[in-house]
Structure 1
Amino acid sequence: MNKLFLSLCCLALIHCKKNEPQSLNANLVDVLQEDKVDASIKFPSEKTISEKATSISKKIIKNGDMKIQVADINKAQSQINTFLKNNKAYIQKERFQNNDLDENLDLTIRVPHQNFDALINLFSTGVGSVLSKNVSSDDVTEEYTDVSIKLANKKIYLEKYREMLKSAKTTKDMLEIQENIRALEDEIDVSEGRLRFIDDRVNYSTLNLSLYKEKVRSSATSRIGFGSRFGDSLTEGWNSFVEFLLGIISLWPFFLLIPVVVFLWRKWRNKRKK
């Protein structure tokens, strides 16, 4: 009887050890569920976040492209610099090209959005002859609002995970929570970067301005001397000769047929004589 009692006790102990991890996992799930309930009390609800997001002002990105023909590139650039200074704008990128036919100055200008239209008008009337102009407006309010709401929710979850990390009891739970924290921090960085980019494009509009000057070839005004033009003519003549020679070389398969044709013609002629 004693042996039977001892055997039953051993079986009970083994059964309890097998069920212990499940009970611990169940307790962890209960804790997490309790934490989720508490989160709704400690942090603002998604409805509150959405109401705050709807108060975001309009986000309009303005862009423009202009090409202006001028009589003097340097004079026009000096005038443009004055316009930029008066409108708190700056040049983000500049590129100058000078060839035998024309001069081109390409500028990428960033200007405060409230001064964008005024700067366009100044360029249209006070610099030169406008060859082309294109202005566009892009409303990104919806995208900005959506990113802001998601960012606020991610920050709430991040704070909650940090609280859970303090109360984690096992190494496995700590590693899982830390991995969730790391993923959320990366997503938050991306969202914040996107919002900063939109704010920058909204606060400062972008204008691509191209100044164009056509060179007049005449004996009085041309800056290209006879020596340069003579050298250009020699170069063009040599290039034409090379292209002609290459064209002939490209016909080499047909040249191989000439001996065959001559042989067949002679053979036919001899046969006809006989």
Structure 2
Amino acid sequence: MKRYLFCAAIIIAMFGCNSEKKDYASSENAMVLSDTVASIDTTSTAKIIKTADMRFRVKDVQKTKEQLSATIKAQGGTIAEFSIESSIQESDKVKYSVDSLKEITSYRKEGFLIAKIPSEKLDDFTNTVAKMAVFVDHQAMKMDDQSITYLANKLKVQNRVDAMNTINKTATRKGKNVETSLYIKDDYVDKKIENMTIDNRVKFSTITLNFYQDNTVNTLIVGNDNLYDYRPGFFQRLGLNIIDGWVYFKEFLLGLSRLWAIIALGFLIFFGVRYWIRKGSSRRI
């Protein structure tokens, strides 16, 4: 009897250890997920995303770009994209000397810049940019409240944590549970990254700047690419043409000399027909 009781006690102890291990594993997973959720920003402040854009005229596009870069850096922002482009409006070339021309070009230079500015400094930055401009064509700012989306993502993340805890408590080695667990984890990561993106866009506002300067006229001395101007003078060309004419005349005579038989036959036919016509006329008389 004692042996049976001893065996039963051992079996109960083994099941108790297994259940403790499963509870410990599930509780450990729950703690990890809870810590991850705690790492998400839980502040109740509004999630306002600010974007702005400006178009303005300046005296010099290149100098303005340098000033903008220094101002953005001083305010803790960064430049995401920029470009400077010059488009030719009109171009002409006039004769400057025998072998050179003066190239006159009218062009328009425009600049494009996208920057990330700390949201609390956006108004000050736009005011600074307006002072750099000669004339402001357009200025606008948009505020997008993402508070509801942010809260929805947080609630969905919590739902996924609860779902993961439930799966861990009833974990089996079946493939469906593994696939479901991976899907929930991936969706959990997506929602977390989406909220991190919202936080970053709330912290740093995006501003798009388009600036241009008045049409600029530039002159440059370039080589003469008109080949006609490089030809010899009139009298030199006249002498050369006379020589060329004599050469062509000689070639013409040489060509006729090759056709002497045809020419002789033509003369014979001409005089024969003429003689025949005259003889016929004399008979009639």
TM-score when normalising by structure 2: 0.55
1:142 aligns with 2:148: yes
152-161 or 89-98: bigger deviation? 152-161
- CA deviation after TM superposition for structure 1 residue 54, in Å: 8.6
Q: Please, which of 49, 53, 56 is the counterpart of residue 65 of structure 1? A: 53
1:223 aligns with 2:218: yes
Q: Residue type of the partner of 2:163?
A: Y
2:49 touches 2:145 (CA, 8 Å); kept in 1? Answer: yes
> What is the number of equivalent residue pairs in this alignment?
174
- Give the match for residue 199 of structure 1: 199
- CA deviation after TM superposition for structure 1 residue 224, in Å: 5.0
For residues 58 and 118 of structure 2, what CA distance do their matches in structure 1 show?
A: 25
Q: Please, which of 129, 133, 136 is the counterpart of residue 130 of structure 1? A: 136
1:96 aligns with 2:96: no
Write the mapping of 1:68-79 to structure 2, written as runs, cut at 5 A: 68-79=56-67
Q: Residue type of the partner of 2:154?
A: S
- Give the match for residue 126 of structure 2: 120
2:58 touches 2:132 (CA, 8 Å); kept in 1? Answer: no
CA distance change for structure 1 residues 204 and 224 in 2, over 3 Å: closer, same or farther?
same
1:93 touches 1:107 (CA, 8 Å); kept in 2? Answer: yes
SS in 1 for 2:131: helix
For residues 76 and 51 of structure 2, what CA distance do their matches in structure 1 show?
A: 17
Q: Please, which of 50, 65, 84 is the counterpart of residue 72 of structure 2? A: 84
SS in 1 for 2:170: helix
- CA deviation after TM superposition for structure 1 residue 225, in Å: 5.0
Write the mapping of 1:247-266 to structure 2, written as runs, cut at 5 A: none
- Give the match for residue 21 of structure 1: none
For residues 71 and 134 of structure 2, what CA distance do their matches in structure 1 show?
A: 14
- Give the match for residue 229 of structure 2: none
CA distance change for structure 1 residues 202 and 55 in 2, over 3 Å: closer, same or farther?
closer
Which is richer in helix? 1
For residues 92 and 182 of structure 1, what CA distance do their matches in structure 2 show?
A: 35
For residues 72 and 177 of structure 1, what CA distance do their matches in structure 2 show?
A: 65
1:80 touches 1:127 (CA, 8 Å); kept in 2? Answer: no
1:107 touches 1:208 (CA, 8 Å); kept in 2? Answer: yes
2:64 touches 2:132 (CA, 8 Å); kept in 1? Answer: no
1:54 touches 1:145 (CA, 8 Å); kept in 2? Answer: no
Which is richer in strand? 2
CA distance change for structure 1 residues 215 and 84 in 2, over 3 Å: closer, same or farther?
same
TM-score when normalising by structure 1: 0.57
For residues 67 and 112 of structure 1, what CA distance do their matches in structure 2 show?
A: 20
Q: Residue type of the partner of 2:151?
A: T
CA distance change for structure 1 residues 94 and 156 in 2, over 3 Å: closer, same or farther?
same
120-129 or 107-116: bigger deviation? 120-129
Aligned Cα RMSD in Å? 3.1
- CA deviation after TM superposition for structure 1 residue 116, in Å: 0.8
- CA deviation after TM superposition for structure 1 residue 124, in Å: 1.1
Q: Structure 2 unaligned segments of length 5 or more: list them.
A: 1-22, 32-36, 89-106, 227-285
Q: Residue type of the partner of 2:61?
A: I
CA distance change for structure 1 residues 128 and 86 in 2, over 3 Å: closer, same or farther?
farther
CA distance change for structure 1 residues 189 and 145 in 2, over 3 Å: closer, same or farther?
same
For residues 227 and 179 of structure 1, what CA distance do their matches in structure 2 show?
A: 72
For residues 85 and 41 of structure 2, what CA distance do their matches in structure 1 show?
A: 47
For residues 181 and 197 of structure 2, what CA distance do their matches in structure 1 show?
A: 24
SS in 2 for 1:223: strand
- Give the match for residue 259 of structure 1: none
Q: Deviations over 1:137-179 (max 9, x none)?
A: 11111111111111111122113212322xx3xx5xx222111
Write the mapping of 1:165-176 to structure 2, written as runs, cut at 5 A: 165=171, 168=172, 171=173, 174-176=174-176
CA distance change for structure 1 residues 54 and 110 in 2, over 3 Å: closer, same or farther?
closer
- CA deviation after TM superposition for structure 1 residue 86, in Å: 1.9
2:108 touches 2:214 (CA, 8 Å); kept in 1? Answer: yes
